[in-house]
Amino acid sequence: MRAVLVLCFIFWGSHIYSQNKETLYDFNDLPQSLMLNPGAKVGFKKHIGIPFLSQIHLNAGFRGASLFDVFGDDGRDINEKIETTLNTLTSNDYVTLTQQLEIANFGWESKRNEDVYFSAGIYQELDVIGFFPKDFAVLAYQGNRDFINVPFRFSTINASGELLMVYHFGYNKRVNKKFTFGARAKLYSSIIHARSARNTGTFTTVETPQGRNIYQHIVSNADVELRTSGYASLRDLEEETGSDQVKNAVNKLIGRALLGGNLGVGVDVGFTHNINDQLSVTGSVNDLGVVFYTNDVETYRARGNYIFEGFETPIQFSGEESQNFIDELEEAIPLDTLSNTYVNMRPMKLNGSIRYSFNQYDDGRCYYCIEGEDPPYLDAVGFQVFTQFRPNRPQYAASLFYYKRLFHFLRTKVTYTVDDFSPYNLGFLVSTHINKFNFYLSANNVFEYTNLAKARGASVQLGFNIIM
C-alpha cells in the first residue's frame, strides 16, 4: 500500500507530458522525424539506427500537482498537504507515462525512383494514463460524513495502460519541389492491456427524515467495467513456482511481442507543403488504428442498483429469513467476469506546423551545387500544434520553435510550449552529425530540471543513428 502510494505520487509529480515530441517534430535532419510525420522532407539516402539505441524516449507527467506539493520538505504536516492537494485536484487531472524503445529503425532511398524513401522498423511502447479518481479518493480519505446527499461518481474512475510492440513500414514520396507526402503502415502486437473508461453511476448517502432509517445508501445505475487482455494467463501462472513461473512468463511475453499478442493495424499519414522556398506547412496523423483484443481477454463488469438502509431488527412475525447484506449486494450488483472480445482505438495524435526558414548558407564555394541541391537555410522559426485523443478528453499543446544549424555537424532546436502541464515549458534538441554518425538528445521543461520535484512533467529523447 505504502509503495503504491509513493509510486503514484512519483509518477504524478516527477515528470510530465503527453506523447508530444515537439522538438523532434519537423526536425528533418533526423530519421526519427519520419516517425512523427511520414511525409517529412527527407534529406538523406539511407539511415540505420543503432539497434536498441536509435530512440530512447521517456515522457511522463502529472497535470494538477507536483511531487513537491506532497513530499516537499517544508515543515508542514504531510496530511495537511495531502488534503490541500486532494482539494486542488479534479477528475480532469491525470498522470501519464509513455516510454518507447526503438529496437530497429532503418530506411533507404528507392533505387528506381530517388524521390521515394522507404523506412521500416520495430519499437516497443508503454503507454499509461490514469485520471485522478477524485470522488473515490475523497471518499477514502475523508469518508462520507461531510458529503451527505453528495453523489460520488463512478465516472471519475478512468484509466488505461498498454504495453505493445509496433512493426512498421513507411513510404515517403517527394511529388515535386513543393509537395511531399507519406504514409506508414503499422502492425501492433499488444502484450498486455487494461482499460477502465466510460463508467457510470453514483454512490450517494441520502438523508431521509421521513424514511425507514436515518439514511439511504444508494448505488444508482452503476456500470463499472475493467477490460483486460494478456492478464488472465499471467495471473494463472502464479500457481506455478520458482524459476518455471518466471521462465513461462518471460516466454509468454516474448511470444506476444513477436506478433503472438492481440494484433491490430494502424496507419500514420502526413505531408509537407512548401508554399515557397522559405515557407512550409506540415501536418500528420499518427496511430490512426485499432487493436483487436481476442486472446486472453477478461472483462470485469459490475452493474446494478442497490439501496442499503441498515438492518431491520428487532422484528416479529415476519416469517422471512433474516437479511444478509453481502448476499443482497452481490445479487443486486453482480460482478461478472466476461471473455468478450473487444476493439480499442489507439490513442491518435495530430501534429501540424508552419515554418519560416531564413539565412541561407552561402560561403561562395557552392559546396552544395555538387549534389544538385540548394544550400540549406541555417535558421528557421515556426509554430506547431499537437493533439492527442485520450479516454476523457483530448490533450492539446502549442509550441513556438527556433531551429538553428550552428555548423554542418551541429543542429539545434529550441521550443517554447504551452500545454496542460505548464504554461512555460522550454525544450531543446541537439543533434550532432559527425561524418555519418549521428547522436541526438532532446529534453523539455528545461527550467524544471534544476528541481524536478517541482516539475509537473518532463520528456527526454535520445538516440544514435548512422545517416548517409
Partner 1 sequence: MKTKKIVRLLCLFCIALMSISCVKDLDFDQVEDVVLTPIFEVDFIFSRFETDEFVDPGIDPSIVIPEVVVRDTLDYDLLATDFIVDNLEQIELTFEFRNTIQRAFEFDFGFLNDADQIVGPAFSFTAAAGNGPGTEPVITTEVIVLDSATIDVLGGARRLISSIRVQNVNSGLEGVLELRSKGTYFINYEL
Query: Cell digits for 366?
Result: 557552392
Chain centroid to Cα 169, Å, comes to: 22
We find the least distance from the C-beta atom of residue 308 to partner 1, in angstroms, to be: 7
Question: Minimum distance between the CB of residue 156 and partner 1, rounded to whole angstroms?
Answer: 17
Cβ contact 124:111 at 8 Å: no
| Rounded CA Rg of the chain | 27
Cell representation of residue 94: 491525470
| Cα separations in angstroms, 132 against 128, 154, 177, 398 | 13, 12, 48, 24
The piece of 194-202, 262-270, 354-362, 404-412 that touches partner 1 (CB under 8 A) is: 404-412
Query: Rounded to the nearest 5 degrees, what angle is found at the Cα of 52, between the Cα atoms of 51 and 54?
Result: 75
Q: Does 306 bind partner 1 (CB under 8 A)?
A: no
Minimum distance from residue 367 beta carbon to partner 1 (Å): 17
Whole-angstrom CA distances from 10 to 66, 68, 159, 190, 215 are 9, 10, 17, 26, 39
Our finding on whether 313 is near partner 1 (CB under 8 A) is yes
CA distance 370 to 352: 33
- Give the residue, chosen from 140, 259, 369, 468, that forms a contact with partner 1 under the rule CB under 8 A: 140
Site for partner 1 in 172-201 (CB under 8 A): none
Of 7 and 343, CB closest to partner 1: 7
Near partner 1 by CB under 8 A: residue from 250, 315, 338, 468: 315
Packed helices 134-142 and 78-88: angle between N→C axes, nearest 10 degrees: 150
Pick between residue 14 and residue 395 the one whose CB is nearest to partner 1. 14
Nearer to partner 1, 73 or 239 (CB): 73
- DSSP annotation string for 75-101: SS-HHHHHHHHHHH--TT-EEEEEEEE
Spatial CA neighbour of 353 closest among 287, 422, 421, 401 = 401
Distances in whole angstroms, Cα of residue 134 to Cα of each of 77, 142, 152: 21, 12, 9
Region binding partner 1 by CB under 8 A among candidate stretches 103-111, 143-151, 157-165, 336-344: 143-151
The number of residues making up the chain comes to 468
Cα–Cα distance, 464 to 468 (Å, whole number): 13
φ, ψ dihedrals at 214, nearest 5°: -65, -40
242 binds partner 1 (CB under 8 A): no
CB of residue 13 vs partner 1: minimum separation in angstroms?
9
DSSP letters along 15-51, please? ----S--TTTTT-TTSTTHHHH-TTS----SEEEEPT
**Does 80 help bind partner 1 (rule: CB under 8 A)?**
no
Binding string, residues 244-273; x marks residues near partner 1 by CB under 8 A: ------------------------------
**Rounded CA gap, 93 and 134, in Å?**
9
Residue from 104, 116, 139, 398 binding partner 1 (CB under 8 A): 139
Q: How far is the CB of 421 from partner 1 (least distance, A)?
A: 17
291, 193 Cβ separation under 8 angstroms: yes
For partner 1, which stretch binds (CB under 8 A), given 24-32, 66-74, 236-244, 349-357?
A: 66-74
Give the shortest CB-179-to-partner 1 separation in angstroms.
36
**From candidates 99, 136, 185, 217, binder to partner 1 by CB under 8 A:** 217
Instruction: Compute the least distance from the CB of residue 411 to partner 1, in Å.
Output: 12
Exactly one of 292, 300, 306, 308 binds partner 1 (CB under 8 A); which one? 308
Amino acid residing at 129? I
Residue 5 is a binding residue for partner 1 (CB under 8 A): yes
Q: Which stretch binds partner 1 (CB under 8 A): 2-10, 47-55, 270-278, 282-290?
A: 2-10
Residue 376 DSSP code = P
312 binds partner 1 (CB under 8 A): yes
Q: Is 215 or 356 the residue whose CB approaches partner 1 more closely?
A: 215
Rule CB under 8 A: which of 428-457 touch partner 1? 430, 432, 434, 439, 441, 443, 449-453
Residues that bind partner 1 (CB under 8 A): 1-2, 5-6, 14, 67-68, 71-74, 77-79, 82, 139-146, 148, 205, 212-217, 308-317, 322-325, 407, 409-410, 430, 432, 434, 439, 441, 443, 449-453
